[in-house]
Structure 1
Amino acid sequence: MKEINTDILIVGAGYAGIAAAKKLHTAQQDFMVIESRDRIGGRTLTEDLESGVTVDMGAKWVGPTQHLVWEWIKETQTETYDTYDQGKNLLKFKHKISSYTGTIPKIDPISLIDLGIAISKMNKLSAQISLTEPWNHPKAKEFDAMTLATWMEKHIWTAKAKHLFEIGIQTVFAAEASEISLLFALFYFKSGDNMDTLISIKNGAQQSILKGGTQGLIKKIAASFLDKIHLESPLVRLSQQASGIIAETNKLKIHARKCILTIPPVLINTIVFEPPLPQQKAQLYQRMPMGAAMKVYLIYPTPFWREMGFSGQIVSDEYPLKVTFDVGHADSDQGVLLVFVEGNDARNFIDLEEGARKKMILECVEKIFGHQASMPMQYIDKCWTEEVYSRGCYTGLMGPNTLTQFGHQIRVPFKHIHFAGTETAEKWCGYLDGAISSGYRAASEVLKETL
C-alpha cells in the first residue's frame, strides 16, 4: 500500500469536493483528492451519444439565482442555452389529453384553485423557515412529526389537484410525499427560493442548460489541479489522532492534518471511523436515504412536436411517464426528449429489462404525440439507485423527526474531519450550487484552523 503525506485530504470529486479543492488551490495549500469512481463529477455524468447529441445523465439544469454555478460558467466561458419552452404543454389525466401554457396544467376551475392555494400555502410556510436553523421554528416539532403527504391530505381537497401536486413533489425530490417530513420539505423549498422556483422553467430551477454538460464544466474547473486527484480510490477507513488523520483506500494510506468529507450521507456510514462518529451524527446519516431518479432520453431525427405546436413538456398520470421536457437547443435539427421516472416509479421501473422499459416509455409517448414518437433514433436510460457510489439521486432526504432531532449535526466538524456535500448546504440544498457553497464553506473552515 502506497503511503502519501498531505496537509488536507478531500474525499469525493463531485461539485463539493472540486469546489473545496479550487479554494485550497487558490490559497496555495497542499491537498489531494480521492475519488471512488473512475471519473470526476459525482452525481453529474455527461455522455456524447453516437447521434451527436450531448446529454446529462445526472444533474442538468442551472437556475438564475444559482450564483456560484454561474460564476464557474463565466470563469470557464461555458455556453448555455435556455430549455425549450415554446408552444403548448400537454396534460394526460385519466386517459384524456389537454393542452395548456405556463407551469400549472389546465384543469377544471375548482381543482385549479385548490392547487393554486396549496402551492401558495407551501410558499408562505417555507418563507418562515430559517435556512441556518430550521429546527428552531416555533412549530418545528409539529411540522417535523408529519409527512408532506399528511399535510396534503389536510390541505388539498380535490383528487386532481392532489395528484398534480404529488407529481410536482416527485419531480423536485425524486421521492414520494409520504417519505418526506413537512419541515424538511419547507426547508428545501426555502433553500431553492420557493416551490414555484423549483417546479418552473422560466426564472426557475430548470431554466438553463450547459453546452458540453455539467460534467464538462467541472472538468474545466479541475483542469489546473488534476494531478492532485486520485481516481478509483474508495475510502475504507478513517482514523484520527491528535496530529491529524490517516485515511485508507484500497491502494493508498494517506496522512493529513485535516479531512473534508463530501460524499452522500448514505455512504458515510459505510466507512470505518476510529474513533467512531458521534452517535447523533451517525444516527443522522442512517436517516438520510437518497431519492430514486431515472432519466430516459429519446433522440429523434427532428423535434417533430415543435412543428405540431407543442413544447415537448408533458405531465401525465400514466406509469412510468409522469414528466417530460424538450432539452434540445432551440435551433437543433434533432429532437431530444427527456423523460423523468421518479420515486416508487423509478424503483419499480429499473427492475424491468431495458427492452421492456423502452417499450413502455415509447407506448406512453406514442399515445400523446402519435406514431412518430415510437421511432426514436436512440433510447438511453440511467437509474441512479444502481450507482454504487451514489445509491440514488437527487439528494439525501429527511423523513419525520430527523431534522429537529439530528439536523444540527449536518455541518458540525468531528475533530479533524469537516463535512461538505450538497446535503449540508443552506442555500440551494440538493443542487449543484449548494454543492459548491458547501465545498467553499468546508475549505474556509479548514483554512481558518490551519493558517
Structure 2
Amino acid sequence: MIPQVYGAATPKPLVEVDVVVVGGGFSGLMSGYNLQQSGLKTVVLEAKEQIGGRSRSFQRKSGPGVIELGATWINNRTQPEVFALTEQFGLETAEQFTDGDTVFQGVDGKLSRMPPGAQSNSEDPIEAVLEGKVLTLIAEAAEEVDIRDFDKFPKKKDVSFADWVALHGLWKFPHVQGVVTGITTSIVGRAPEEVGAHYFLDYVKSGNGLISLLSEGADGAQSLKVKKGTTSIATSLVNAMENGTVLVSTPVKSIKSCDDDTSIVTTKSDQAFKTKKVIIAIPTNMYKDIEFDPPLPKEKGTLVSSTKPGIYAKLILSYSEPWWRNAGLVGKFTSFVGPICFGWDTSDLADSQYSLAFFVSGDIAAEWHELPQQEKEDAIVEHLATLVGEELAENARDVLELNYVEWTKEEYLEGAPTSSMGPGLLRKYGAALREPYSNLHFGGGETAYEWKGYLEGAITAGKRAAQEVIDDLGADKKE
C-alpha cells in the first residue's frame, strides 16, 4: 500500500515574460513602467509588503495630513525627472518652509541659534575659519570630480575621507572632525573613516554640490514636498501599469541563466518566471540574498561584499501647533552630539499638520538602535527639548504623535539612504556597477550618475536600465 502524502505542494506553472524587474522601489517601478510602455511583457517583483523602496508615506493617526518616514523632498529645477512624474500624475507639491532661525549643537554640546544667512555654526572665530576652510575644500574638490570617468580622480588621494581631510592638514582639529563626521553621516550614513574620498566627493557632485545637499530653497535638495507623499508617485506608476504585474511580498531566491539565452527567476515561494531579460533594481548590499547561476562577475561580487548601507533612522514628531515657528525657528536642527543628528520642518498648514522630521545617523544611530523602544522615543524628545532651550522645552515634550522607521533594521534594505564605497572601490569597480552581464541589467539609485541616493537618481537609473533592455530586445518588441 502506497502511503498517502498530505500537504504536498502543487507545482506552480512557469510564467513566461519578456522582462523581470527585481525590486519595486522607484528605480524598478520606473523600469517596469517604461518597459510596458514600449510593449514588452514585464513583471516587477518586490520582496517587501509595500512598494516604493525607501519612500514611506503614511496618513497621520492624530489628524489629516501625510507623514514621510522615508524620501521626502524633490526639486523642480535640479531634479527634472522626478518632478515631471508629479506633473504627469497630477500630484501637487509645496515649497519647504524656510523662514526662521536654525539651531546648531557642536561636538562640545554648546548650542547656537543662527539667523538666516549666517556663515558659521561656531561663535569661536578660529573654529569658524576652520569650518569655512573645510566646507570650501569639500565643495571645490567635489566640483572637480568627473562623475563619469572614474580614472580621473588622483590615485594618491583615493583614501578614506578622514585621511583625505588629513592630507589637507585639517583633520587634527576636533571641530573639523565633528563637522566632517556630521556631513558624511548625514549624507550617506557612514563615518568619514569608512567612506572613500573619491566615492564621497563623487556623491556630493552627483547631488549638485555640497550646498545643494545641505540646503532648502530653489536650488536645495530639500526644496519641494509632495502633498500626498512621495509614495504617491510610486503608486501612480503602478496604477499606470498592467494590472497584476507588480507583485509584492515576492522576494527572489535565484536567477539562473539558460542555454537558450533566457533566464529563470525563482521566488522564495517557488514561483518561476522564464524571461529574456532581468533588471536588478535593489540595493547592491542585498544582491547577497539572491543565488546567481552562474555567479556574478568578480567585479560585481566585490561590490556586493564591500558596499555598506547607511546607518539611518527617521522620526516624525507631530504637534497640535507649530510652536517652533511661533518662536521664530525654521525647524532646521543640526547636532554633532545626538541622538538627533539633523532635521527639518515637514508641516502642512492646510491640513493643520505640524511636524518635525528628525534623522539619526552613523555611529550615533548604531547606539540609538540598541535602546528599548520607549527609551528611543524619550531620547529624541528630550534632545529636542535641549535643542530648543528651557523656554520651549515643554512645547517639545507635548508630542501629539510620534512615528519612526529604523532603516538599518528594514528587511531587504538594511539601511538608507544609499550604500557607500570605501577607499579605492569606485576607481576599480565604478564602471562595473552598471555593466550588464549575460541577461542581467542593473538599475537602482546607486547606479545613477546624478543624484545617487535620491528619488531623481532612482528614476534616471530605472530609465537607463529599461532603455538598455528595450534596445537589446527591439526586434522582439511586441506591437
Same fold (TM over 0.5): yes
Cα deviation 1:20-54 (Å, max 9, x = unaligned): 11211221211111111122111111111212231
Q: Does 1:142 align with 2:160?
A: no
Please say if residues 18 and 218 of structure 1, whose CA atoms lie closer than 8 Å, have aligned partners that are also in contact: yes
Identity %: 26
What residue is the counterpart of 2:9 in the other structure?
none
Instruction: State the 1:72 CA deviation.
Output: 0.3
Name the aligned partner's letter for residue 417 of structure 2: Y
Aligned counterparts, 1:16-95, within 5 A: 16-51=27-62, 52-63=64-75, 64-93=77-106, 94-95=108-109
Distance in 1 separating the partners of 2:203 and 2:298: 25
Q: Over residues 421-443 of structure 1, what are the superposed CA-to-partner deviations in whole Å (9 max), with x where a residue is unaligned?
A: 01111111111111111111111
* Aligned residues of 1:11 and 1:259 also touching (Cα < 8 A): yes
| 1:421 equivalent in structure 2 | 444
The change in CA–CA distance for 1:103 and 1:75 in structure 2 (over 3 A counts) is farther
Deviation string 1:152-188 (CA, Å, 9 cap, x unpaired) is 3343364334323321222111111111000001111
In structure 2, the partner of 1:248 is: 266
What is the RMSD of the two structures over their aligned residues, measured on CA atoms?
1.6
Instruction: Map 1:125-164 onto structure 2 (within 5 A).
Output: 125-134=141-150, 136-137=151-152, 139=154, 141-144=155-158, 146-155=159-168, 156=170, 158-164=173-179
The separation in 2 between residues aligned to 1:177 and 1:88, in whole angstroms, is 28
| Post-superposition offset of 1:332 | 5.5
SS of residue matched to 1:91: strand
2:208 aligned with 1:193, yes or no? yes
Is 1:325 the counterpart of 2:338 in the alignment? no
Residue 316 of structure 2 is aligned to residue 297 of structure 1: yes
Q: Which amino acid counterpart does residue 149 of structure 2 have in structure 1?
A: E
Correspondences of 1:2-17 after superposition (within 5 Å): 2-17=13-28
Match of 1:171 in 2: 186
Counterpart Cα distance in 1 of 2:132 and 2:90? 39
**Equivalences for residues 214-363 of structure 1 within 5 A:** 214-225=230-241, 226-241=243-258, 242-251=260-269, 252-329=271-348, 333-363=352-382
Structure 1's 90 and 138: CA in aligned 2 closer, same or farther, altered over 3 A? closer
In 2 relative to 1, CA 419–81 (structure 1 residues): closer, same or farther, beyond 3 Å? same
Higher mean alpha-carbon deviation, 298-307 vs 24-33, is at 24-33
Query: In the superposition, relative to structure 1, how do residues 149 and 381 fare at CA in structure 2: closer, same or farther (>3 Å)?
Result: same
- Matches of 1:103 and 1:71 in 2, distance apart? 34
Separation in 2, partners of 1:293, 1:249? 28
What's the CA shift for 1:138?
5.1
Cα deviation per residue 1:229-266 (whole Å; 9 max; x = unaligned)? 12211110100023210000023100001111101101
1:204 aligns with 2:220: yes
Query: Is 2:402 the counterpart of 1:379?
Result: yes
* Aligned amino acid, residue 49 of structure 1: R
In structure 2, the residue matched to 1:405 is: 428
Counterpart Cα distance in 2 of 1:349 and 1:363 = 14
Q: Deviations over 1:352-391 (max 9, x none)?
A: 1110011111111112232111110111111111111101
Amino acid at match of 2:183: G
The count of aligned residue pairs is 448
Partners of 1:238 and 1:274 within 8 A in 2: yes
* 1:85 alignment partner AA: T
**2: CA distance, partners of 1:164 / 1:433:** 27
Cα distance between partner residues in 2 of 1:441 and 1:384: 27
Query: Cα deviations across residues 198-228 of structure 1 (Å, max 9, x unaligned)?
Result: 1111221111111111111110122121421
1:88 to partner: Cα distance: 0.9
Match of 2:79, as an amino acid? Answer: Q
TM-score, normalization by structure 2: 0.90
Q: 1:72 to 1:159 in 2, by over 3 A?
A: same
For the pair shown, which has the larger CA radius of gyration, 1 or 2?
2
For 1:189, what is the secondary structure of its paired residue?
helix
* Partner residue, 2:3: none
SS at the partner of 1:18?
Answer: helix
State how far apart, in whole Å, the 1-side matches of 2:344 and 2:135 are. 22
1:317 Cα deviation from its structure 2 partner = 3.0
Distance of 2:311 and 2:385 partners within structure 1:
25
* Range 175-184 or range 159-168, more displaced: 159-168
TM-score by length of 1: 0.95
- Structure 2: gaps spanning 5 or more residues: 1-11, 475-479
CA 284–306 in structure 1, closer or farther in 2 if over 3 Å, else same = same
In the aligned structure 1, how far is the partner of 2:352 from the partner of 2:292? 53
Q: SS of the counterpart of 2:14?
A: strand
Displacement of 1:105 in angstroms is: 4.2
Moved more, 416-425 or 267-276: 267-276
User: SS of 1:430's equivalent?
Assistant: coil
| 2:196 counterpart letter in structure 1 | S
Aligned to 1:258, the other structure's residue is in SS state strand
Using a 3 Å threshold, how does the CA distance of structure 1 residues 166 and 332 change in structure 2: closer, same or farther? Answer: farther
CA contact (8 A) 1:422 1:435 kept: yes
Deviation of 1:104 (Å):
5.0
Q: 1:147, 1:177 within 8 Å by CA — same for their partners in 2?
A: yes
Paired residues of 1:166 and 1:176 also in contact (CA < 8 A): yes
Q: 1:103 to 1:178 in 2, by over 3 A?
A: farther
Higher mean C-alpha deviation, range 181-190 or range 329-338: 329-338
Q: SS of the residue aligned with 1:312?
A: strand
